[in-house]
Amino acid sequence: MTTVVPIASDYHGLVQLQQLAYFVAVADIRHFTRAADEMDVAQPTLSQQIRALERSLGAPLFARSPGNVELTAAGAELLPIARRMLAEADNARLALRELGELGRGKVRLGATPSLCTGLVPKIIGDYHRSHPGVAIVITEGGSRDLQRLLAEGALDLALLVDSRAQDDPRLVTEPLFVEELVVISALDAPPPTRRARMQVAELRSKQLVMFREGYDLRETTLAACRAEGFEPTFAVEGGEMDAVLGFVAAGLGVAVVPSTVVGERFRTTRLASPGLARTVQVARRSGVELSRAAAELAASIGRATA
């Protein structure tokens, strides 16, 4: 179906948007052959469409002579109108596309398992209520794995923890918040310390429930223990967040976890100053424009963590 629009009330008849685009190209370049190359169309086709536009308007738009193309008075009057109409058509197409993206489509979000336990459900819940037609695909993984997937284009956005993504030229990162890490133990187990706050050095005598290799919290805990001059003892290792929480609740040992995932089923002990913390970041690919749906999700993440 051909789209036609009126140029102005002084012009009788209707013209095609494509004809206006050809007209503007010739007006800018002042050469029919080069304008045809710019528009990726055969020169006879472009000339034919310009003549059809002139017939529709009842006035010549160009004064043609060998090696020279100039606008006529009618062409000079039409040019700003044509530019405005083409810009308005582009704006309308963009608005309709963005409206469609918010009514349907898919956004791929990566997040660490600990963030999927605490932060992500609220963000996705709020987003889904506003945009129920957009499907959210969640990928759980360590920050390094998510950083790689994001750079490869397998994700639209990723929530990372203490990663080196800010040093990756393929990515753009924004810090969201700093999250305190605490020691958790079973409610019916003895307190892990007699102090108001626990020293990292006191973990030397504890059985730790430890995350799998490559997990951000594992690296943070090991680094803190090694800074105190010891290697921690593991009661069990290799789990994701849900497994670690389950093992601690069963009394197998203590674990260092984000304060936001604890809830009411554990004894929580804060670490003595300077303590341990981690920075949560949102990341996207550099130089790649987000879809409207993904941009709205990024905005939702910002609002939820402000």
Q: Which of 25-34, 46-55, 201-210 has the highest mean pLDDT?
A: 201-210
pLDDT of residue 5: 40
Pairing type for strands 135-140 and 106-111 reads: parallel
Confidence of residue 260 (pLDDT cuts 50, 70, 90): confident
Tokens 């034919």 locate to 48
Determine what percent of the chain is predicted with pLDDT higher than 90. 55
Taking only the tens place, the pLDDT of each residue in 107-123 is: 999 998 889 887 899 99
Confidence of residue 130 (pLDDT cuts 50, 70, 90): confident
pLDDT of residue 101: 57
SS3 133: coil
- Whether 4-102 and 106-177+279-305 share one fold: the answer is no
Please state the rounded mean pLDDT for residues 277-282: 92
Could you tell me the CA-to-CA distances from 291 to 127, 266, 284 in Å, in that order? 15, 41, 12
Name the CA dihedral angle for 223, 228, 233, 237, rounded to a multiple of 10 degrees.
Answer: -10
For domain 106-177+279-305, which architecture applies?
3-Layer(aba) Sandwich (3.40)
Please state the rounded mean pLDDT for residues 273-293: 90
Two tokens, residue 122: 């609220």
The domain defined by 179-276 carries CATH number 3.30.70.2860: no
The model's pTM is 0.62
Distance separating alpha carbons of residues 120 and 283, to the nearest angstrom: 15
pLDDT of residue 3: 37
More confident residue, 195 or 291: 195
Nearest to 176 by CA among 283, 84, 43: 283
Nearest to 297 by CA among 116, 100, 96, 128: 128
Please give the DSSP secondary-structure letter assigned to residue 291.
P
Asked whether the bond before 274 is cis by omega within 30 degrees of 0, the reply is yes
Q: What's the CATH code, domain 4-102?
A: 1.10.10.10
Please state the rounded mean pLDDT for residues 56-69: 87
Taking only the tens place, the pLDDT of each residue in 136-170 is: 999 998 888 899 899 888 999 999 987 777 788 88
Q: Domain residues of the chain, as ranges?
A: 4-102, 106-177+279-305, 179-276
- pLDDT beyond 80 at 214: no
Two tokens, residue 29: 């370049």
